[in-house]
Structure 1
C-alpha cells in the first residue's frame, strides 16, 4: 500500500482534487446517514399514529420531504465527488505517463540494450492503468463508504456497544484472512505480468518487422510463441483465482456469521422492548451501511493487489539511474570557442565494455582537429560504432576520457553534448508524419525556407516536389513509403538543418545502389563542409577524400595516418586496398570487414 501512497504524493499538484474528494466524501457520508434517522422518525411516527398518539399526516409528509432533500443532496454531492475522482484519475494517469516517458527518455542506452520496446510499452499501459483504475474506484466509491462506516459504528455504539463491537470484529477478521492470501496472490500476479510483458514486447517487435516475418513464413511460430505466454497466464489465473476465491469464501462466510449475530441481537432487543421499532429500523440500516464496505472489500482488495503489483513495476523503472544532468558550458557553437590548436574530439586511453562483458574498446587514444575528416576502418566488431556511441555519451567508459571541444563529456549534460553532434546512420530512422516534419525534427521551429534549403543541399528537393503533396506528404511508419535513397537524403537534410559543428556518418550509404549513393554522397559532401566529421564507411570510395584514417583491430588503435600513408604500411587499410584489386577469392575476404570495393 505504501507504493500507492507514494503514487499520490508523487503527483502533488493534484492535492486540491484530493481535498475536494475528501470533502465530498464527508458530505456524502453525512447525507447518507441522515436517511436512517429520517426513516426512524417516520417509522416511530407511523406506529404512534396507528396507536392514536402521533402528530398526524402533516408530520409524515414533512419527513418524506426531508428524506427527498437528503437523497437529492446525496445524489448531487456524490456525483460532484465522482466527477472530481474521474478528473483526478485522468490527470493522475496523464502525469504518471508523462513522468514515465520522461524517465525513459533520460535512461542510458544500456537500459534499451536489454529491454524490449513492446515490454516497455506494455508496462506503461498495465501498471499505470491498474493503479489509476484502483484510485478512481477508491475515491468514487469506497472512500465515501469508509467514512459512512466510521460514522455508523459511532452511532451504533450510542444505542448498543455490543452491536458496534460485533461490527468492529468484521474488519480485522477480514483483513487477517486477506493478509494470508496476499503474499501468494502477488507472487502469481508478478508471474502473470512477466508473461504479459514478454508477449507484448514480442507482439510489438513482430508487427514492426512484419515483412521479415512474412518473408520467412514464421507467422505460425510467432503466433504459437505469443499464445504460449498468454496460455501460461490462464493456468496461473486458475491457480490464483481458485486460491483467492477459496479464501474469499472463508472471509465472507465469517462475515455472514457475524452479521447473523448482529441481526439476531437487534431483533431480540426490540422484542424485549429495549429498542423501539424506529430504532430497530435505524440500526438495521446502519448495519447495512457498515456492511457495504465489507462486501466491497473483496473487490477493493483484488484491484488494490493489482495496483500494488503495477505500481511496483512503475517505480522499478523510475528507480533506474538516468543519464547525467547538470550545468556545463554549452558545446554547441564550439567552432567559435576552441582555442588555437585545441582538438575538437579527444580520446584518451578510452576503455569500455558492455555490462559485465569483456572490454570491446581497449586504451584507445587519438585526436581529431576542428574541421578535420577522419574515417574509422576495421574488421566487423572492431569497435568503430562503439567509439561513435561513446562520443555521443550513450555509454560510460570503464576508464579513460573522451573530450569534445575541450569539455570532458562526463561533466557535460547529455542534451548539450548531443546538441553539438549531427548524425546520419545507415538506417535513416524516420518517423511517421510528413516529409516536412521529419526534416525539421532537429529544429521544429525551422521556417519553410530553411527546410527547403536543407532539402536542396541534400539532393532531396526534386523528388519531394514530385509527390502530390510535396513537403506535406505522409511517409508512413519509419518512412516505408520512400525508397532507401530517398530516406537517406531526408536524413541528410535533417542533419543539415541541425547545423551541428560535429558530424557522424555511420555507414550512411552502405545500403544504397550506385545511383542513390552518388546522390546521397553529394549531399554528404556539402554537409561535411566546415564540420568536424567522423566517418564509418562501407565502401573504400567513400573515405578516399578523408584527411586521416584510424584503423582498429580487436578494439585497439592499429594505425593512424592519411590514406596515402596507410596505403604503404601494410596494415589493415593497405590490406583492404590489395584485396580490392586482387582476385575474386581475395574479394571474399572483404566480408570480414565493414568495407567493400
Structure 2
C-alpha cells in the first residue's frame, strides 16, 4: 500500500480533484443515510394508520411528503454521483498522463546500458500494464472509497444511538474482514508477480517478432514463435488457476462467515422489535443501515483485488524510476575515477553541468582527444578498450580500423557520451566531455549510423528531427546536400510523404540519404560515420558517399569505414588491436609499416577467397 500512497504524493496537482471527489463522497454518503429514515418514518405512519391511531387522509398526506423528499434526495444523489464520476474520470486521465510522462521522461534519460539488456516490448508492456492497473484502482478508489468509509462510519454511529451493543458487534466485522483479506493477499501478490513476468516476456517477444517479420517468414519460424508465445501465456493460466482458487476459496469463507454474522444481527433486531424495544420504523431503519454496512464490506473484495494489481504494477513502475539516470551515472563515474587517482579538489562534487561552447578555448585544442581511455561494458568485466590515446584535429578526417568487435563502435559510443569511461579522459574542443552537460556535448556531434534509424512520419519530419523548428528552405537545402531532393520531390506528397515505420517504404539508399540530410541539418562541428555505407548496393553507396564527402567538408570527422577506398581519402588512420591503439599515421605512412592497414591493402590486392574472408573480419568489403 505504501506504493499507492507514494503515487498519490507523486501527483500533487491532482489534489483539487481529489478534494472535489471527497466532497461528493460526503454528500453521497449523507444522501444514502437519509433514505432509511424516510422509509422508517413512512413505515411508522402506515403502522399508526393500520392500528387506527391516525386517519388515512393524514397518513396519505404524510407519506406523500416523504415520497417527495425521497425523490428530491435521489435526484440530488444522482447529480452528485454524476459530478463525482466525471471528476474521477478526469483525475484518472490526468493521472495516466502524469505517470506515463514521468515514466517516458525517465526512460529517455536512462543510461544506454539499461537498453542494452532490456527488451523493448517488455519496457512498453510494463508501461501499459502498470499505468492501466494504477489508474483503474485510483479511479475506483476515488469514486467509491470515500463513500464507503463515510457510510460505514455513519452507520456505526447511528446504530450505536439505537443500541450500542449492536454497533459494537457490527464494528468488529470490519477489521476482522480486512485482516483476513490482507492475509490472503500476500500469497496472491507472489502469483501476480509471476504472471506479470510471463506476460512481459511474451509481449517483449511479440514486439520483436512484429519488427522482424521478414526474418521470421524467411526462416519459416511462424509456428515456433507462436508456440513460444502460447507457452508463456499458457503458464499464466496455470498460475491464475492456483491464484484464483486460493483467492475465491478464501473470499467464499469470508463471505460465509459474514453471512452468519449478519444473520445473527438481523435476528437480534427482529427479537428486540418483537419485545417492544424497537418500533417497526426503527426496525426498518436498522435493517437498512446494516444492509448499507454489508455493501462496503463486500465491495472491499474488489477494492483489495484492484489494489493488489495496482501494488504489483507500481512495483515495476517504481523499479524503473529507481534506475539511475544517465546524468547521475556520469557523475558517479567521474567521482569513481577521482577515487582511483584523478585530480579532484577536496570536497568537490562532480555533477553534469552546462559546459562552455566548443570554441571558448580560443580554437587551439583539437576537436577530439582520447587520453588513456579504458572501458568495459560491464563493471568489473573484460576491457574492450585499454589505454586508448589519439586525437582528431579541427577539420581533420580520421578513420578507425580494426577487427570486428575490436572497439571501433565503442569509441564512437564513448564520444557521444552513451557510456562513461572506466578510466582516462575524453576531451571535446579542450573540454572534459565527462564534465559537460550531455545536451551540450551531443549538440557538437552529428552521427550517421550503419542503420538509418528513421521514424514513422513524413520525410520532412525525419530530416527536421535534428531541428524541429527548421524552415522548409533549410530542410530542402539539407536534402539537396545529401542528394536526396531528387527522389523526395518525385513522391506524390513530396516532403510530406509518409515513409512508414523505420522508413520501410523507402529503399536502403533513400533511407540513408535522409539520415545524411538529418546530419547536414544539424550542422555540428564533429561528425561520426559508423559504417554508413556498408549495407548499400554499389549505386546507392556511390550516391551516399558523395553526400558524406560533402558533409565532411570543414568538419572534424571520425569514420568507421567500410571500404579501403574511403580510408585512403582520410587525413589519418588509427588502427586498433586488442583494444589498444596499434598505429596512427597517414594512409601513405601506414601503407609502408606492415601493420593492420598495410595487411588490409595486401589482402585487397590478393583478391583471393581467403583474403576476402580476412577482410570481412575487419569490416572491409573485399
> Which residue of the partner structure matches residue 542 of structure 2?
518
**2:543 equivalent to 1:540:** no
Contact 2:563 2:621 in 1 (8 A): yes
Identify which of 250, 253, 272 aligns with 2:253.
250
From 230, 241, 244, give the equivalent of 1:241: 244
| Post-superposition offset of 1:179 | 2.1
1:340, distance to aligned residue in structure 2 (A): 3.8
Q: Tell whether the 8 Å contact from 1:381 to 1:554 is kept in structure 2 after alignment.
A: no
Map 1:361-400; keep pairs closer than 5 Å.
361-400=385-424
Aligned partner of 2:164 in structure 1 is 161
Alpha-carbon offset, residue 583 of structure 1: 4.2
Cα 1:340–1:442 change in 2 (3 A) is closer
Structure 1 Cα separation of the partners of residues 273 and 361 of structure 2: 95
Q: Residue in 1 aligned with 2:133?
A: 130
Deviation at 1:349, TM superposition (A): 1.1
The 1-side partners of 2:505 and 2:607 are apart by 40
Deviations 1:37-89 (A, max 9, x none): 11111111111222233443222111111111111111111111111001100
Question: Separation in 1 of the partners of 2:355 and 2:550?
Answer: 25
- Structure 1 292/251 Cα, relative in aligned 2: closer, same or farther at 3 Å? same
Secondary structure of the corresponding residue to residue 384 of structure 2 = strand
Unaligned runs of 5+ in 1: none
The aligned counterpart of 1:323 is 326
Q: Contact (CA 8 Å) 1:373, 1:534: kept in 2 or not?
A: yes
Alignment of 1:490-505 (within 5 A): 490-505=514-529
Residue of structure 2 equivalent to 1:52: 52
- Contact 1:173–1:251 at 8 Å: present in 2 too? no
For residue 389 of structure 2, give the secondary structure of its aligned residue in structure 1. strand
Pairing 1:93–2:116 present:
no
- Deviation digits for residues 281-321 of structure 1, max 9, x if unmatched? 00111111111011111111111111100011100001100
Equivalent position of 1:566 in the other structure: 590
The alpha-carbon deviation at position 187 of structure 1 amounts to: 0.6
Alignment of 1:304-315 (within 5 A): 304-315=307-318
- Three-state SS of the structure 2 residue aligned to 1:337 is coil
Aligned to 2:300: 297
Structure 1 position 595 matched with structure 2 position 620: yes
Return the match for 1:576 from 600, 613, 616: 600
Which SS does the other structure have where 1:324 is aligned?
A: helix
Paired residue for 1:456, among 480, 485, 492?
Answer: 480
Pairwise CA distance, 1:164: 1.2
- Secondary structure of the 1:342 match is coil
> Shift of the alpha carbon at 1:329?
4.2
Alpha-carbon distance in structure 2 between the residues aligned to 1:522 and 1:337:
32
Take 1:380 and 1:534, find their aligned partners in 2: how far apart are those partners?
17
- Relative distance call for 1:243 and 1:465 in structure 2 (3 A) is same
C-alpha distance in structure 2 between counterparts of 1:91 and 1:328, whole Å: 32
| 1:497–1:509 Cα change, 3 Å | same
Equivalent residue for 1:81? 84
> What secondary structure is seen at the aligned counterpart in 2 of 1:56?
helix
Superposed CA offset, 1:111-153 (max 9, x none): 0001000000000010110111011111122331221111111
**How far 1:330 moved relative to its partner?**
4.6
**TM-score, normalization by structure 2:** 0.94
Partner of 1:443: 467
For 1:491 and 1:103, the matched residues in 2 are separated by 26
Kept in 1, the 8 Å contact 2:533–2:545? The answer is yes
Identify the range of structure 1 (275-284 vs 416-425) with the bigger mean alpha-carbon deviation. 416-425
- Aligned equivalents of 1:139 and 1:567: distance in 2? 75
Which residue number corresponds to residue 12 of structure 1? 12
What CA distance in whole angstroms lies between the structure 1 residues aligned with 2:282 and 2:567?
96
Instruction: Report what 1:191 is aligned to.
Output: 194
Q: Which runs of 5+ in 2 are unaligned?
A: 329-350
Deviates more, 1:194-203 or 1:417-426: 417-426
User: Are 1:30 and 2:26 an aligned pair?
Assistant: no
Within 2, Cα distance between the matches of 1:343 and 1:415?
20
Q: Does 1:342 align with 2:365?
A: yes
Q: What is the CA–CA distance in structure 2 between the aligned matches of 1:583 and 1:550, rounded to whole Å?
A: 24
Give the aligned partner of residue 143 of structure 2.
140
Contact 2:402 2:618 in 1 (8 A): yes
Which among 443, 449, 454 is matched to residue 419 of structure 1? Answer: 443
Mapped contact 1:458–1:523 kept (Cα < 8 A): yes
State how far apart, in whole Å, the 2-side matches of 1:38 and 1:402 are.
81
Aligned to 1:359, the other structure's residue is in SS state: coil
Aligned counterpart in structure 1 of residue 530 of structure 2, from 503, 506, 528 = 506
Equivalenced residue count is: 595
Output aligned runs, 1:95-134, within 5 Å.
Answer: 95-134=98-137
Whole-Å Cα distance in 2 between the matches of residues 587 and 68 of structure 1? 91
SS of 1:494's equivalent?
helix
What is the aligned-residue RMSD (CA, Å)?
A: 1.3
TM-score by length of 1: 0.98
